[in-house]
Amino acid sequence: MTDCIFCKIVRKEIPAITVYEDENTLAFIDINPRSKGMCIVIPKKHFVNFDDDMDTASKVFDTALIVAKKIKIALGLEAVFIAMLIGQVPHFNVRVYPVYKDQIPLFENKPIKVNQKELAEIAEKIKKAEVNWKRETKRKEEVIVEKKEEPKQEEKVDKEEEFWIKRSFLIG
């Protein structure tokens, strides 16, 4: 979408402090954060609601987890909040909030004052924190959990014997 601010960030028409980027997603620092180092994760493709494109939305969540882990490592925090909210920008996004002990509960509707230089330093730390995780690709048929009946003990033995007979045949 031409007028969407987040799409402009993806196209690098608006500057943003990026902390993570891959083929489908982008994570950047919120310059009006609710907590220091708060990140916004977006899909590069424009859509509004998570259920407009569940596949891409799940990739955004994968990135949100990576960013959450990066925040934990970089800032030495115990907790990170992740939220999917409807915000002012109509482009799907997931927010990742570092949770500092003195900031619990964390108020989403209350932006905090933050020094931009300090924010840039935090961003650099988050960006540098290494997280080597990648989702294993799941085949569609693995998603369906089937309840198979266990074969009776005798049948099991037979099948095993059959296997070894076949196997020795193949080897022999």
Q: Which stretch binds Zn ion (CB under 5 A): 25-33, 83-91, 98-106, 145-153?
A: 83-91
If the CB atoms of residues 12 and 139 are measured against Zn ion, the closer one turns out to be 12
If the CB atoms of residues 48 and 131 are measured against Zn ion, the closer one turns out to be 48
> Phi and psi of 112, rounded to 5°?
-105, 160
Site for Zn ion in 34-53 (CB under 5 A): 46
Question: Least distance (Å) from Zn ion to the CB of residue 107?
Answer: 26
Question: Least distance (Å) from Zn ion to the CB of residue 28?
Answer: 13
Please check whether residue 133 is in contact with residue 69, taking contact to mean a CB–CB distance below 8 angstroms. Answer: yes
Residue 4 in the binding site for Zn ion (CB under 5 A): yes
> Phi and psi of 18, rounded to 5°?
-80, 135
Contacts of 119 (CB under 8 A, 6+ apart): 17, 29, 31, 33, 36, 37
Question: Least distance (Å) from Zn ion to the CB of residue 83?
Answer: 19
If the CB atoms of residues 27 and 122 are measured against Zn ion, the closer one turns out to be 27
Binding site for Zn ion (CB under 5 A): 1, 4, 6-7, 46, 91
